[in-house]
Amino acid sequence: MSTRIDPETAAGLEPPAPAGAERNYFKRDLFASIVIIALIAFAMEAWSWVAPVYIMPSVVLTGDEILTILGEDYIHIVTTILRLLFAVAFSLVTGSLIGVIMGIVRPAEPFIKALVVIFTGVPALSWMLFAIFWFRGTEERVFFILAVILIPFYALNVYDGIKALSTDLVEVVETFRPSRWQVFRLLILPHIVPYILMTTKSIIGYAARMTAFAELVSVNTGMGARMGLAQDELNMQGVIGWTILLVIVNLGVQAIVAWAEKRLLKWRPEVSVR
Amino acid sequence: MTAADARAVIELDRVDRYFGAHPAVLDLSFRVMEGEIVALLGRTGAGKSTALHMIMGVLEPTRGTVRVEGLDPYAQFKALRGKLAVSFQNDRLLPWRAAWENVALGLEILGFDRETQRDRAIQWLENVKIVGEENVRKYPHELSGGMRQRVSLARALCVDPELVLLDESFSQLDHVTSKALRTDFTELVRRLGKTCVLITHRIDDALEMADRILVLAAPAKLALEVRVTPALRSDSDWLEAQHAAIAAAMGGEDEGEAA
């Protein structure tokens, strides 16, 4: 493998792909996704011809169920999305702050780092059970489970980001004699934004699944809880319908993160390796 | 300004700096007068950068005193806010800031409003020959090496400092770009009457730009002092003789000097 270096460009890196090429990639990916969705739908439909409805309902039946959910149970979708977004936003701020403190307050670093690493070792299921014992309110339970699982991801990645901060950049900012707040605002914060976005991108799918799982075991509202109810009633089209909606929510949130990444990191060069 | 009127902007008096038992700077004394361009010239490891870091105030001398504008740059770090600026060997531009925002960095730290920052930054970019809305809005990775170094110089000068420190600022550029940038920078600094300390290992750069050359031999001890005037600078015999004398004082030319 060799890295292509273009001497014509300023930084010795390939220029970003032109907008036309990006559109072509999008069309290609969209086409591939449609093909895969069609194949899955066909497989489900074919299976439904030979299996009872509680094993695999037909595509039409599942579609009807989704329409019913969207018409009558949409509040559970909204509840799950709000729980997910609020918990992710809180974890992002809190985890990033912990990461910054770990990165810049030397005496606190080993202690906070040890705590965060230990927390990451606790299984998600244990946190769910702790939440049921410790909190009476359903919202508190879901929020606690998500926050305690997600915060360490942000803390560790932001900490790694601060450790990767170039001493050259620190030195150049310090030549102007800034205050500590200015160093944070002008140097540290913009530097850790890619790490925060990368973490969000990595954990958002996991967080969506954890939200549904937490709802399933600890509360009676939200998409996870409704999936549990559908399972109790042997309503397979309900389980599949909620699953499809969860996937759509997941993809929607990931699209928002990807959009935010594109907007906030437009200063980053696109590098291609061949 | 006559020589008698000039005041010392930098004063180093019998300065030592050790890293563990290793002396990087030993018994170094010199003064840089207001409006002067002084080159600190030496081979790699001669202690030039250590001396510069002490002048910047990011390193404390082990012994002796360093004064910049009459202040101790290390102990009175914040008191020199806005009075000195540095341009480094690599451009060190913040990758998330556009060219004009990089130039405005010092102004933002000094508390200027956004409009003033932008106006002054664009003016300084014009001074270093980066013009056009499209160029000033470019991010560092979209600029050539020479343009990035020009942005770096504009960033240093934009805060209107009393003292400009250049740490091998032209050494990573190709010969043609480096020459053009040195010429532009020297003209600009002389026109503005700024005091400037230039750290370099290239004898030709020092002879071309400086009013005075302080040759350091490792560990940074003053080995030779050369005064340069415009008349002498155009005398090729004198330049040749000085080049040889400086090279001998440095203990030989550094790698890449011949280029």
Yes or no: say if B28 and B47 are a contact pair by the CB < 8 Å rule: yes
Count the neighbouring beta carbons within 10 Å of the beta carbon of residue A123: 9
Domain segments of chain A: what residues?
58-264
- Residues composing chain B: 259
Structure tokens that stand for B203 in this block: 């004898």
Residues A222-244 have pLDDT tens digits of 999 999 999 999 899 999 999 99
A58-264: CATH class: mainly alpha
Question: In terms of Cα–Cα distance, which of A203, A205, A204, A245 is closest to A224?
Answer: A245
Beta-carbon contacts of A9 under 8 Å, excluding residues fewer than 6 positions away, are A15
Phi, psi of B224 (to 5 degrees): -160, 145
> Quick check: B105 and A176 CB within 8 A?
yes
Q: Name the E strands within A52-138.
A: none
CA distance linking residue B114 with residue B108, whole number of Å: 8
Beta-carbon contacts of A112 under 8 Å, excluding residues fewer than 6 positions away, are A98, A101, A102, A155
Residues A148-189 have pLDDT tens digits of 999 999 999 999 999 999 999 999 999 999 999 999 999 999
Dihedral sign of CA atoms A126, A127, A130, A132 in order: negative
Cα A153 off chain centre by: 11
ipTM computed for the complex: 0.85
CA distance linking residue B38 with residue B30, whole number of Å: 10
Mean pLDDT of chain A: 87
Q: Which of B74, B92, B112, B164 would you mutate first to test chain A, the one with the most A CBs within 10 A?
A: B92
CA dihedral A56, A62, A66, A72 (to 10 degrees): -90
On the CB side of B7, how many CA atoms lie within 13 Å of its CA?
7
Residues B175-198 have pLDDT tens digits of 887 888 888 888 888 888 899 999
> Quick check: B141 and A13 CB within 8 A?
yes
> Quick check: B97 and A178 CB within 8 A?
no
Is pLDDT above 60 for A5? no
Q: Is B84 on the interface with A (CB under 8 A)?
A: yes
- Beta carbon pairs, A and B, within 8 Å: 69
